[in-house]
Amino acid sequence: MAEEVHLGLPGPWAADYREKADHYTTKIGGVPDWPTVDMGIKPETLQCSLCGTKLCLVAQVHAPVAKLNIEERIIYVLVCSTPQCGPKPQSWKVLRVQKCHNVMQTEGGGDELGQSNGPPSTSVPEEQNDKNKIPEIDDDDFDLDALAEALEQAATLASNSKKKNKSKHANAPVKCPVLKEQACDPSIPFLPCFYIYYDKELFGGKGTVGSSSSELVLDKEIMDTANDEEEKWEGEKYEYDKAIGADRTYLKFKKRLDAYPQQCFRYSYGGKPLMATTKLQDPGTCKLCGSPRQYELQLMSPLSYFLHEAGDGSSNYAPSSWTWLTVIIYTCSKSCCPSSCGGNPHSCCWGVAEEEILIQEDEVR
Amino acid sequence: MAERGGERGGERGGFGRGFGRGGRGDRGGRRGGRRGPRQEEEKWVPVTKLGRLVKEGRINKIEEIYLHSLPVKEHQIVETIVPGLKDEVMKITPVQKQTRAGQRTRFKAFVVVGDGDGHVGLGVKCAKEVATAIRGAIILAKLSVVPVRRGYWGNKIGPPHTVPCKVTGKCGSVTVRMVPAPRGSGIVAARVPKKVLQFAGIEDVFTSSRGSTKTLGNFVKATFDCLMKTYGFLTPEFWTQTNFSMTPFQQFTDLLGKPTKGLVLEAPTETVEA
């Protein structure tokens, strides 16, 4: 599986949890930033299907798709704010907000995932090139220095440009302090808010750990003592990992989580999800166009830990009752246009589509 | 924003500006650097609900986890609440697989962890490199820590020193039988299971084994299985009615109001063998 996986790592906390950002920001918690004021979303969509309370935002991910040339696309993950509804999958909702036609784009498109095809903005490909070079370099020192440079560039760029950098690699972590307006609707429940910055997962798969010289010495010692003993351990064969409370799938999940212990979500458009348990229901097909659904992103447990830590310990706090290991989100594979504009590029407006969500719980029994 | 980049370059692998709230401190970001100065104090971010409870300090003894048979899915849980856990590599053997391009050798590590006072774990891991195998086996061993029940051979004087009754464990063709022994007998066993029994904290025992004990992997697993069964054996002390208590999840859910609602946790205490 050579799919690139982007990890959403935690950035700075928002100074005010209800502060407004724009719809290009990727953040956890807070209040949803709809692209236009009048989205035309029915109020039932923003209510829990079980108890009717208003949903609060868990994650807002700016997710353009380069292959389909869609840039204005955001995924909102919402959950019911009451703790009783927490464990039940029907209390979660995923909305895909998209504007299909981008003929009027001023900044030029197709730059999302690092392919620089003669882009109009000059600073964006520099960062992307830096970031593309980094995974090939094995040396630790160079890794971090180049990364620091790239981040500095990204930070200065973000402070200069008004629009959020849409490149996945160079997402500036800190929002401009100018936009600190309160959300319009004071009755929406909200969770503590922090921003996300992206990183590509450098996972070598099996056995990329190089042994340093000290470890080699240890190996030799062990092998020497082994040869001295009179007993021979015979008949050993390869054995899969097993623990009393954890099966092989979970141990693999934990191994990837331990590589980046703070990952809040994993993004891989059309890739394979990282399972925590073996059973998984079928995601089904898109309700609007009937094309099959494919994996796009999954929320990971450190997210619920961070939200739980930020809570004030009140009994009405939803993240304290979450026990899921991962929440997998499937979206339409064609990313169909949910708005009813009839394909006319000049009058295309924002549309909202509901997508599928599958929760993998931490089973206690 | 520029300072964030500067900070980032200055501290190797660590972000200066941490999360701030709740005293989380700085997050050590490990940027794919396995060689060189490793950050040993990397903060544990719990994955499971049980991990969260242990990290907060709501669960102090591992007996509370054993009482409700909760699966332990993170080795940091065991590291946190079982102090004094020592580990030892018992054996590293090469395991070979025949491929078209010759033989592929991997290493299998057997690691036993224990505190010498009633908790022992065994981990087995195969990996392409020895260091990886040892590290993985230590983690698996910590995930498999089980309680060991100790009892008396005769007079109930002093702390328990031997197994409470005759128990037998089996793995593959090897069966290991442990028989209570009087104080001062020491562990009468082969070298390999003796190590496991020492880590478990058993002072005196007679053992008897059967089957192909040359397959020492099975031998050590049979011994471990035998130790697991010590708490599964119903003796007259357990004939009294059990007072069931709330699991830690229910106990610490704020939905139920006050968390200390008069709970009686009957953690199995090993010293009371009346």
Q: How many whole angstroms separate alpha carbon B224 and alpha carbon B122?
A: 7
B72 phi and psi, to 5 degrees? -95, 115
Q: Do B43 and A254 touch (CB under 8 A)?
A: no
State pTM to two decimals.
Answer: 0.74
pLDDT less than 50: residues of chain B: 1-41, 255-267, 269-274
In this structure, is residue B174 part of a structural domain? yes
- Indicate whether B56 and B143 sit together in one domain: yes
pLDDT, one tens digit per residue, over B137-151 is 999 999 999 999 999
In this structure, is residue B262 part of a structural domain? no
Q: How many whole angstroms separate alpha carbon B106 and alpha carbon B126?
A: 6
- Indicate whether B128 and B196 sit together in one domain: no
Q: What is the pLDDT of residue A84?
A: 81
Tell me the shortest Cα–Cα distance from B182 to chain A, in angstroms.
29
Q: How many whole angstroms separate alpha carbon B194 and alpha carbon B186?
A: 10
Task: Give me the number of domains chain B comprises.
Answer: 2
Q: Do B254 and A155 touch (CB under 8 A)?
A: no
Give B21 or A37, the one with higher predicted confidence.
Answer: A37
Q: Do B129 and A207 touch (CB under 8 A)?
A: yes
**Residue span of the structural domain in which B215 resides:** 167-229
In this structure, is residue B137 part of a structural domain? yes
Q: What is the pLDDT of residue A300?
A: 92
The CATH number given to whatever domain includes residue B203 is 3.30.230.10
- Indicate whether B95 and B66 sit together in one domain: yes
- Indicate whether B104 and B173 sit together in one domain: no
Tell me the shortest Cα–Cα distance from B122 to chain A, in angstroms.
9
Region A120-134: mean pLDDT is 41
pLDDT, one tens digit per residue, over A46-55 is 888 888 888 8
Nearest by CB to residue B17, choosing from A12, A243, A365, is: A12
Q: What is the pLDDT of residue B174?
A: 95
CA terminus-to-terminus distance, chain A: 32
pLDDT, one tens digit per residue, over A319-358 is 888 888 999 999 888 888 776 665 555 656 777 888 888 8
Tell me the shortest Cα–Cα distance from A330 to chain B, in angstroms.
22
- Indicate whether B138 and B175 sit together in one domain: no
Q: What value does the CA radius of gyration of chain B take, rounded to a whole number of Å?
A: 23
Q: Which of A32-36, A185-189, B71-75, B231-235 has the lowest mean pLDDT?
A: A185-189
- Indicate whether B71 and B109 sit together in one domain: yes
From B147, B182, B204, give the residue that closes a domain.
Answer: B147
- Indicate whether B107 and B75 sit together in one domain: yes
In this structure, is residue B32 part of a structural domain? no
Q: Chain B residues with CB inside 8 Å of A149's CB?
A: 5, 9
Q: Are strands A324-332 and A351-361 parallel, antiparallel or unpaired?
A: antiparallel
B42: closest chain A residue by CA: A261
Tokens encoding A121: 């903005």
Q: What is the pLDDT of residue B149?
A: 96
Q: Do B92 and A223 touch (CB under 8 A)?
A: yes
Q: Judge whether A125 and A111 are in contact, CB under 8 Å.
A: yes
Q: Do A194 and B19 touch (CB under 8 A)?
A: yes
Give the distance, in angstroms, between the CA of residue A242 and the centroid of all CA atoms in the same chain.
Answer: 29
Question: What is the residue whose two structure tokens read 């199995």?
Answer: B268
H-type alpha helices, A288-344? 301-310
How many cross-chain Cβ pairs, A to B, lie less than 8 Å apart? 203
Mutation target for B interface from A131, A217, A258: give the one with most B CBs within 10 A: A258
- Indicate whether B142 and B191 sit together in one domain: no
Q: Chain B residues with CB inside 8 Å of A207's CB?
A: 127-129, 132
- In this model, does residue A40 exceed pLDDT 70? yes
- DSSP class of residue A270? T
Nearest to B204 by CA among B178, B226, B224, B181: B181
- Cβ neighbour number for residue A150 with a 10 Å cutoff: 22
In this structure, is residue B205 part of a structural domain? yes
In this structure, is residue B274 part of a structural domain? no
Tell me the shortest Cα–Cα distance from B22 to chain A, in angstroms.
6
Region A238-266: mean pLDDT is 90
State the virtual CA torsion across A74, A75, A81, A85 in degrees, nearest 10.
160
From B147, B179, B200, give the residue that closes a domain.
Answer: B147
Give B197 or A183, the one with higher predicted confidence.
Answer: B197
- Indicate whether B143 and B90 sit together in one domain: yes
The CATH number given to whatever domain includes residue B133 is 3.30.160.20
A199: closest chain B residue by CA: B31
Nearest by CB to residue A140, choosing from B36, B70, B247, is: B36
- Indicate whether B61 and B132 sit together in one domain: yes
Question: What is the residue whose two structure tokens read 């490199």?
Answer: B129
pLDDT, one tens digit per residue, over A141-182 is 555 666 666 666 666 665 554 444 344 444 444 444 444 555
In this structure, is residue B15 part of a structural domain? no
- Cβ neighbour number for residue B58 with a 10 Å cutoff: 14
